[in-house]
């Protein structure tokens, strides 16, 4: 159950970061939402998101991985994995 709680917390941080940093409506921040097409985030926003998540969750997101993140779900998946590896 601890892992499920850690995963839920990591997902919550991702969602709150997207909502607060980019002034997105909470209803739009869903796993299938595409970063560019649905949320209107550009490449500079993606860099800002990576920096904010690295700071908030104390994880590293390699540039190559960040470039492959197309949807909110992609971000969730990587962050949950990275947080689990850190033991959060």
| pLDDT tens-digit map of 33-52 | 999 999 999 999 999 999 99
User: Residue 1 pLDDT > 60, yes or no?
Assistant: no
The total number of structural domains in the chain stands at 1
pTM score of the predicted model? 0.89
Residue 53 is part of a domain; what is its CATH number?
A: 1.10.1200.10
Cβ contact 53:13 at 8 Å: yes
| pLDDT tens-digit map of 10-20 | 999 999 999 99
Using alpha carbons only, how large is the chain's radius of gyration in Å?
12
If DSSP states are collapsed to H, E and C, what string results for 4-72?
A: HHHHHHHHHHHHHHHHHHHCCCHHHCCCCCECCCCCCCCHHHHHHHHHHHHHHHCCCCCHHHHHHCCEH
Active site residues: 42
User: Cβ–Cβ contacts within 10 Å for residue 86, how many?
Assistant: 13
Provide the domain limits for residue 47: 2-86
């Amino acid at each position: 159950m601890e892992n499920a709680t850690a995963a839920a917390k990591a997902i919550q941080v991702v969602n709150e970061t997207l909502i607060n940093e980019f002034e997105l409506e909470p209803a739009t921040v869903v796993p299938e939402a595409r970063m560019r097409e649905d949320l209107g985030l550009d490449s500079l926003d993606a860099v800002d998101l990576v920096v904010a998540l690295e700071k908030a969750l104390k994880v590293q997101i390699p540039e190559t991985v960040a470039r492959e993140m197309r949807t909110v779900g992609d971000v969730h998946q990587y962050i949950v994995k990275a947080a689990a590896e850190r033991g959060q």
